[in-house]
Structure 1
Amino acid sequence: MGPAWVQDPLTGALWLPVLWALLSQVYCFHDPPGWRFTSSEIVIPRKVPHKRGGVEMPDQLSYSMRFRGQRHVIHMKLKKNMMPRHLPVFTDNDQGAMQENYPFVPRDCYYDCYLEGVPGSVATLDTCRGGLHGMLQVDDLTYEIKPLEASSKFEHVVSLLVSEERPGEASRCKTEGEEIDQESEKVKLAETPRAGHVYLWRHHRKNLKIHYTVTRGLFMRNPNVSHIIENVVIINSIIHTIFKPVYLNVYIRVLCIWNQKDAVLFSASRPGHVAVELFGVWKYHNLYSEISHDTSVVFTSNRLGNSECYASFDGICNPNWGAMFVYIMRYHLFRGACVTAHALGHNMGLTHDSVGCYCFRRTNCLMAPVPDLNDMMSNCSYEIIQCKFNQWDPCLSAPNVPYTNFPYVIKNQREECDCGSLKDCASDRCCETSCTLSLGSVCNTGLLLGLQRLGWYITPCSAVSVCIRGNCSDCDMQCQALFGYQVKDGSPACYQKLNRIGNRFGNCGVILQRGGSRPFPCEEDDVFCGMLHCSSVSHIPSGGEHTTFCNILVHDIKEEKCFGYEAHQGTDLPEMGLVVDGATCGPGSYCLKRNCTFYQDLHFECDLKTCNYKGVCNNKKHCHCLHEWQPPTCELRGKGGSIDSGPPPDKQYRIAGSILVNTNRAPVLICIHYILFVVLLLFGGFSQGRERERAHTME
């Protein structure tokens, strides 16, 4: 494998090194690279102010540059949260054991881009090293842009990239997906529970979390961990751009670098499917339980069985079968990313494009039988992937959350607070998962936090609800949270007539099942624990993407207006429109998991009766007694509090004393000032009298 061959008549400073750092110029190998540049030109990008309504957009950039014989404006939008704040990187130590590190990796410098006025143009650029680096796709032409080294004028080189294979080289993708009958996919699409065409469906972004692995053979081509991390991130950024039009976000979950020894042998003599199967078993036992992910990609330095990629067909979300390998040694970074995206398509159940499959302004699409510089998904792939996304989805709907194996409680400048992982945020009542303070909170750390939580312990729950899992909310409070102040719970007729139907606007939740998800109707006894209905709504707030507010008239003794909130099951908040656990649903009965349950069946280990109705239970299931009652049972007189926190501080008396001092100090000061003023006047008059008397004596 030799250095990057560039057919360019320009000076030596314009030799274009390979973006893929693993193709080192230090080593010489027998195989030439499978790509080349056919032309290059120097451009000077000029930054264009990017404003909307006169306001500067901080996450968007625009540059004007002249290439291809005309001036273009490229618009760039920042990609957010493409990788964890601290990316886990596993390497091998001297003893061959895996060790976990968190190296610094630039995050906020990767962009989605397009050319203004050029339909179908797609670009993936980054500014991590200064200047513009990346790839630009215009129709069937692929350009690489990078800064010109040693230039003081912000000059860049734009080069046209083409692939070239050796004669007789087997480049056609061979996967089990080819054996899948295309007609069966059409049947599955027809069976999906939708009335309209796939392009009319409501789309929801999914999240694909990938575990990347670099084999030792690839690592040894250039044993620089920083370069490997950088290029894996760039590949993931390109894949993220490719799958963005089908509403799929692609994230890096974890990176493994086999720098000492391959845990699974990826040799040229081993068939691809055998190596992938063994790798799936290895990562299930060694990594999956510690850091869960949706699929795995292994980058190799050699073909396996004369194949450059292989993926377990439709193995996404499976701990064993969510795996694939991609050979990228001889290829340009962009082609390596396209082949990886092709393999990911097979792993998600996509078959090769056939007759009738086409994509916008491209001759060949991503799932063409021969993978190449193809970055756009065809109409056939789009229909299949949307069908799968809206059917059984065991992992892609899960949000991309930080890991629990790193202390993520790090407050940034734009955050009001940071509660850490999703699990930690669930138990933090002061800080929301959006890193904003909850309603009524002024901090989430320090002494004041303890006083706030003390107030929560001694605040009684609603008269028509019980506290379950830290939540104390009845239907009136929930309606006010959704629609605003003075909104009330809906009429019983709304619950009795709508929640028995089992559609989007009246149900007891959503059943996820193979073949699609569907709302299910409430049983007669559980209608008050299903979808929430409110009344007296005068203002409809903004519910965000893929949410619906409904106003339904129900005829009972009189006409009732039933306002409801529906969030699609594919969103992160599918239960906002359902009655919360703990709300009353009948005499002595409360809602629990969409079922109306008698209080005795809730099996509380600590309740008001345990505290003799003179206290409430804290999170440790101990009584927190009111003032003047002694823990642990609040039967005897005392100072209040619990056996966990002790008596609460006597805030009431201290505040009263402080107010008393403040109110008495003001008139005292006024009197002192008045007395001093009178004394000064008297002293001045006395002094003037003495002066006059002395002057009279001298005369």
Structure 2
Amino acid sequence: MGSQWCWSPAARGLITLSSNASYYVHPWPAGDSEDFLTHKIFQMEQLLSWKGTCSHKDPGDKGDMARLSRATQIRERRESLRSPRYLELYIVADHTLFLTQHRNLNHTKQRLLEVASYVDQILKTLDIQVALTGLEVWTEQDRSRVTPDANATLWAFLQWRRGLWARRPHDSAQLLTGRAFRGATVGLAPVEGMCREESSGGVSTDHSELPIGAAATMAHEIGHSLGLSHDPDGCCGEAAAEQGGCVMAAATGHPFPRVFSACSRRQLRAFFRKGGGACLSNAPDFGLLVPRARCGNGFVEEGEECDCGAGQECPGSCCLAHNCSLRAGAQCTHGDCCARCLLKPAGAPCRRAAGDCDLPEFCTGASPYCPPDIYLLDGTPCARGRGSCWDGECPTLEQQCQRLWGPGSRPAPDACFQVLNPAGDAHGNCGQHSDGSFVPCAQRDAQCGKLQCQGGEKSALVPHTVPVDSTVRLGSREVTCRGAFVLPGAQLDLPDLGLVESGTQCGPQMVCQDRRCQNATFRELELCLIACHGHGVCNSNHNCHCAPGWAPPSCDKPGFGGSVDSGPVQPERLSHTLSSTAQDTFTLAVILSFLLPLLLGASLAWCCCRHPGPCLQQCLWGSRRDPVCSGPKDHPRRDYPLSSIQPTELGLTATGEPQPLELCQSPAATLRSLCPVAKQVKSKSPDPVSGER
């Protein structure tokens, strides 16, 4: 039985018939017309014409973008529903790429859209959805310097990106160039640069005839920004070589990679746990998405109640995929604040604090999404005073040494930095020039150059690096300083490997930035802390995050804690301390309820032994008083009915403070009972908590 296929004028994309049969459809030739009448269908094996690499001397190729198995897709969609992350991506095409597209702006934009679509497919395997928030084509001239030197091109673009972010906020900016970089390099990105003002971006060459090749490189570089290093040998067990291998493979000679290895996933989890990539937790501004809104793109835009992407990706029965509307009774489809199609109550925790410099967030009760990820304001002390918060992280020399050399590693003495880094060689430097020569550190910047450590493993944990040991004299003894040297031609897409990270303390009120030790008075932090009245800390929006017991925005009135940015804190979380007091009271009451009958029984037994006969009846029922049973006259017996014994209860006022209780005489009976005091007793105000979350 034959099949008849009907193509739209500009159909393009992937057709996957099985794990071993994948085809790529593309209009041919591109031409200047929008009405493509001819299409070509390529087998994946036919795409193996380009030879290049992002970092290795023995380059391979990248090919297939075939989808994962259905079971894998379902599992990963389920994980995505629990913790969605969005990458707001801005892609720029340089002037050379515009020229290679025959100065056709529409064709250039279409190519960028295809690249973004394939990057989205790749990153979805990490539960990260790409939200394309901007496209830019440099039609007249380059806005930043683009040269065959990948490193110089990268840092020039990242400098230009700072101005871009001010006018068009985004998470990551990627430059796609039509130029070829020197050597075999096709891409470059700072490791763990995601969400950082100075390093959240990358550059890639448009090296293949089809856009899927550039997309594979761009996804690889974004992986480096997310803290992923190249997969060591034997790490990629998720996909065989003939299926494309893994995205972070150092070199391949097979179809385009489609999955990330288990090693990459572990690195990504570690990156998120320590507070990296905080901006990916924020839902994008759907009004800024490119291209225009449509039902089925996975983003809830104006006029839509839900949008879970392709029809087969709709979770459960919350959303009607054909018109992007909610089913009857449903309030939401996915998000950290959505459970079983219903919104979680206000104050429900939705994002834990990740690391010393992060802050928790809580559901608002009105949105299925967790509020934007907020962290401590730059300059806040962290790591017990050994570091200062910087972009939501707490960079310390000790942490960086252990990441490079493993547990047990520690920073070398200051003499190692002061003696070695001004030399400007493989043992110590402040980076490299475009020609590969080393940059010597100025003496005042020596603490911001090559990371000098001691102890740890014999070899570095980062692939393709070797230890470089040096000896310096410290007083009457010699100390060993250890740095990391990147092997020539390896990891070229990870610049500044082994250098001290930005934000690391390099002296009193001094931090490293752009490989220089710069003054950091953090005046904004000082002013903000004054506004918090000593009862909270300052967040990255320059607002107070109040300690439990104090109310935002100024932490000067009783409340439940938190900030105006993080969502309302559940009252139950604050009352936990109060409830523990009530629990202690209740426990005491339970103990007494057991002890009192025992004491009563013991008293009766004593009475029976001392005064048997009629006196027993009198003691039991109290029908009449008898001197024998009443005891000595100078110690009259106080007879309280058992019904008067009640457990103590704590009443809560409107402010959530415990209301004092006292014993009072009931006007209607002679029994004593518990009742609230008439006079308000001012409770002790909560102890100031600075820096506590």
Determine if the TM-score, normalized by the shorter chain, exceeds 0.5.
no
TM-score (norm 1): 0.39
TM-score (norm 2): 0.39
